[in-house]
């Protein structure tokens, strides 16, 4: 646990939050961190969602989640998305 805390302190010491163009507070970053620690790479499944997908992807990369599992879950999520769109298109074309 101490190694994790040291790593987080190193990350935040290198990252000057006041100079970033977007104002992020440490509390908000810690909130993302707890969710990513809880759900892990499974969150990558939801990266295809329009508004919350990009922050999820950035958070997974920022906190260095296992990139192989992230890639697999992203792939599964996007494949399901395109399969659903293909079925909707196919059924829509068969009605006309």
Q: What pLDDT shows up at residue 68?
A: 93
Domain count within the chain: 1
Which range marks the domain in which residue 60 is found?
2-95
Instruction: Please say whether the beta carbons of 64 and 37 come within 8 A.
Output: no
Does the predicted TM-score (pTM) go above 0.75? no
What does the pLDDT average to over 31-44? 83
How far is Cα 25 from Cα 10, in angstroms, rounded to an integer? 16
Q: What pLDDT shows up at residue 81?
A: 92
Mean pLDDT of the chain: 80
* Closest of 10, 79, 88, 2 to residue 48, by C-alpha: 79
What does the pLDDT average to over 21-43? 77
Residue 36: pLDDT above 90?
Answer: no
How far is Cα 29 from Cα 25, in angstroms, rounded to an integer? 7
For 93: left if phi > 0, alpha if psi spans -120 to 50, otherwise beta; the answer is alpha
């Amino acid at each position: 646990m101490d190694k994790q805390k040291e790593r987080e302190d190193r990350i935040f010491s290198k990252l000057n939050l006041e100079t970033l163009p977007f104002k992020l507070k440490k509390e908000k970053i810690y909130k993302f961190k707890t969710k990513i620690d809880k759900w892990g790479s499974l969150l990558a499944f939801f990266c295809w969602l329009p508004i919350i997908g990009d922050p999820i992807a950035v958070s997974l990369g920022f906190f260095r989640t296992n990139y192989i599992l992230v890639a697999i879950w992203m792939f599964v999520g996007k494949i399901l998305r395109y399969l659903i769109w293909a079925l909707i298109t196919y059924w829509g074309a068969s009605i006309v």
